Homo-oligomer: A and B are copies of this chain.
Amino acid sequence: MVRKIVLSLAMSVDGFISDLDGGFDWIAGDGDNTQNTGNQWNYAAFLEGIDIVVMGKNCYDQKMHEDFKDKKIFVATSNPLTDYDNIHFISGDICKPILKEKILKGKDIFLFGGGLTIDSLIAADLIDEYIIGIVPIILGKGRPLFAGSNPTIDLKLDTYSISNGVVVLYYSKRQGN
């Protein structure tokens, strides 16, 4: 099995992954479970299949890396910092070190956030799977998932799940294009 680079996050119907202040408290269901699917998004099971997490410096500053103590963590940062424990800082191009890992044996690589880090990977079309939870809200303004100047990438809907009005869409890059 080739190691995959997987983006997984929640966005509003209008494409934002955090509000303008970087907040997430709008990420919630609509209180209605009648549309729930039999299969459900299982974050714990997803993390079992991951051994590298990639995140931006803002996520790190918010201590989001602490949820992944048993994994190797790449933190994209504009200023060089000294690695420690499982934390590896990358200043400059984030794509190269990830591609270097991808050809090694291992579990999948979880692209956690934030927006700028993700954008580099989308722009380089390096993401193998997009798992996007669509939160039932028009947020209005915030930090967008997609920067609006990406290449065109054909996707294939592999499966989906719904919980409490949140629709999780599991896409992979469409083959044969």
Query: Which of A's residues lie within 8 Å of B, judged by CB?
Result: 13-15, 26, 30-32, 35, 122, 130, 132, 134, 136-141, 144-146, 148-160, 162, 165, 167, 169, 171, 174
7 interchain pairs, CB-CB under 8 A: A14-B146, A14-B150, A30-B154, A32-B156, A136-B157, A138-B155, A167-B167
Q: Which residues of B contact A145 (CB under 8 A)?
A: 14
Identify A137's interface contact among B14, B134, B148, B155, CB under 8 A: B155
Asked if residues A160 and B157 are in contact (CB atoms below 8 Å), the reply is: no
Once bound together, how far apart are the Cα atoms of A122 and B137, in whole Å? Answer: 12
Asked if residues A136 and B155 are in contact (CB atoms below 8 Å), the reply is: yes
User: In the complex where A14-B15, A160-B162, A174-B30 touch, is A154 in contact with B137 (Cβ < 8 A)?
Assistant: yes
User: In the complex where A13-B171, A167-B169, A169-B167 touch, is A138 in contact with B122 (Cβ < 8 A)?
Assistant: yes
User: In the complex where A155-B30, A167-B157, A167-B167 touch, is A150 in contact with B174 (Cβ < 8 A)?
Assistant: no
Identify A148's interface contact among B14, B31, B149, B160, CB under 8 A: B14
Asked if residues B165 and A138 are in contact (CB atoms below 8 Å), the reply is: no
A166 to chain B, nearest CB (A): 8
Once bound together, how far apart are the Cα atoms of A35 and B15, in whole Å? Answer: 23
Identify A26's interface contact among B149, B152, B162, B165, CB under 8 A: B152
Smallest Cβ-Cβ distance to A151: which chain B residue = B140
Q: Which residues of B contact A32 (CB under 8 A)?
A: 156-157
Once bound together, how far apart are the Cα atoms of A24 and B134, in whole Å? Answer: 23
A102 to chain B, nearest CB (A): 20
